[in-house]
């Protein structure tokens, strides 16, 4: 199927390329889905707790970096508390109008920007960021072979392609999401692992917090996610994923695999995120670094 695009390439085009959903005129995330970052009662106490941990570490000025910071709501809430902490937002989207001038803002791909920021003491937050990172996906055929999901270049719809052969992808599936049942689908989390390694790499000491739609290996093994999780979002609704930039593409995050991508972490805590009652698939990951 030589003309078909890889899912990752087509998805990247809808994230940072010519068809970028977020950079397009229609790409204000809050038009399409509600995140709980602005209203959550739990997030500020947790960030304060993590900042207190970072405060006990040696290093430069205490800093909070919000990766994929959207409208800057979390940083604005922190700024309102009168904190002396340096506050930095990174997003594909431009600096939101009216954002507190004390908040620094970097417009760019966080996976690249993070490589240019080193030696941070503080807290790195990624709230509903990792699920946006393009990844490969497979569907198992009737003979039990995982086949790559590809994208038709004209309709930009997903199609099932050739058997997966990439040894690193096969090893990831084997370790994190064994694909054993015909017609099950699975997303391959290597790109999310790499993104987490990049953004936690900014930290010299302190803590990193990811909150996202996610799952863990026991759930995956048990079949809870056999249908896969890749969907499109548009104006508050789940829509058929079409990689043309008309909808936001998202897939749940294999949060335990992401955690292992930060080998410098001294402690790791994975929980359900309690501010989302009824959302059993909303998870948090906290890792500390010294
Ligand atoms: C679902 S919104 C979440 C925004 C905010 N964190 C919140 O929870 O309200 C995802 C945000 O991540 C940004 N984003 C996605 N991929 C990104 C990337 N590679 N680099 C920087 N920002 C990115 C999008 O532009 C968007 O503002």
> Which of 132, 195, 202, 276 most suits a substitution to test ligand 1, by most atoms within 8 Å of the C-beta?
132
Could you tell me if residue 162 is inside a domain?
no
CA 45 / ligand 1 centre spacing (Å):
22
| Per-residue DSSP letter, 231 | E
Look up the domain containing 282 and give its range.
31-133+188-223+252-289
Residue 266 sits in a domain of what CATH number? 3.40.50.150
Could you tell me if residue 208 is inside a domain?
yes
Could you tell me if residue 10 is inside a domain?
no
β-strands 248-250, 253-254 pairing: unpaired
CA 289 / ligand 1 centre spacing (Å):
24
Determine contact, residues 200/208, Cβ cutoff 8 Å.
yes
Q: What is the pLDDT of residue 277?
A: 56
Could you tell me if residue 59 is inside a domain?
yes
Structure tokens at 280: 């059993």
CA 128 / ligand 1 centre spacing (Å):
7
234-237 — which CB contacts under 8 Å span 24+ positions?
234/32, 235/31, 235/32, 236/32, 236/33, 236/34
> Low-confidence residues of the chain, pLDDT below 70?
1-2, 32-36, 38, 274-278
Nearest CA to ligand 1 atom 16: 132
Ligand 1 pocket (Cβ < 6 Å) reads 15, 22, 29, 35, 37, 68-70, 73, 90-93, 109-111, 127-129, 132
Domain count, the chain: 1
CA 133 / ligand 1 centre spacing (Å):
9
Q: What is the pLDDT of residue 274?
A: 62
Q: What is the pLDDT of residue 2?
A: 53
pTM value is: 0.96
> Which of 36, 91, 117, 251 most suits a substitution to test ligand 1, by most atoms within 8 Å of the C-beta?
91
| Nearest ligand 1 atom to alpha carbon 250 | 1
pLDDT tens track for 171-227: 999 999 999 999 999 999 999 999 999 999 999 999 999 999 999 999 999 999 999
Nearest CA to ligand 1 atom 4: 70
- Classify the C-alpha dihedral 268-130-217-137 as positive or negative: negative
Could you tell me if residue 240 is inside a domain?
no
User: Rounded to a whole number, what is the distance in angstroms from the first to the last CA of the chain?
Assistant: 48
Determine contact, residues 70/91, Cβ cutoff 8 Å.
yes
Nearest CA to ligand 1 atom 19: 109
Could you tell me if residue 233 is inside a domain?
no
């Amino acid at each position: 199927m030589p003309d078909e695009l890889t899912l990752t390439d087509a998805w990247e085009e809808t994230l940072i390329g010519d068809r970028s959903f977020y950079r397009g005129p229609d790409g204000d995330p809050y038009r399409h889905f509600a995140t709980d970052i602005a209203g959550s009662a739990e997030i500020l106490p947790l960030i304060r707790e993590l900042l207190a941990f970072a405060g006990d570490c040696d290093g430069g000025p205490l800093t909070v970096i919000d990766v994929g910071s959207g409208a800057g709501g979390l940083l604005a809430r922190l700024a309102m508390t009168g904190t002396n902490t340096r506050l930095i937002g990174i997003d594909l989207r431009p600096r939101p109008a009216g954002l507190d001038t004390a908040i620094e803002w970097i417009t760019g791909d966080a996976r690249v920007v993070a490589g240019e920021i080193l030696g941070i003491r503080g807290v790195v937050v990624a709230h509903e960021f990792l699920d946006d990172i393009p990844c490969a996906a497979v569907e198992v055929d009737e003979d039990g072979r995982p086949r790559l999901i590809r994208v038709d270049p004209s309709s930009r719809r997903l199609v099932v392609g050739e058997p997966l052969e990439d040894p690193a992808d096969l090893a990831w599936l084997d370790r994190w999401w064994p694909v054993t049942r015909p017609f099950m689908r699975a997303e391959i989390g290597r790109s999310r692992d790499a993104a987490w390694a990049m953004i936690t790499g900014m930290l010299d000491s302190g803590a990193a917090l990811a909150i996202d739609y996610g799952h863990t290996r026991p759930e995956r093994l048990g079949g809870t996610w056999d249908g896969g999780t890749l969907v499109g979002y548009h104006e508050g609704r789940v829509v058929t994923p079409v990689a043309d930039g008309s909808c936001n593409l998202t897939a749940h995050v294999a949060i335990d695999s992401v955690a292992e991508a930060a080998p410098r972490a001294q402690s790791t805590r994975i929980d359900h995120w309690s501010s989302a009652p009824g959302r059993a698939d909303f998870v948090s990951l906290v890792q500390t670094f010294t």
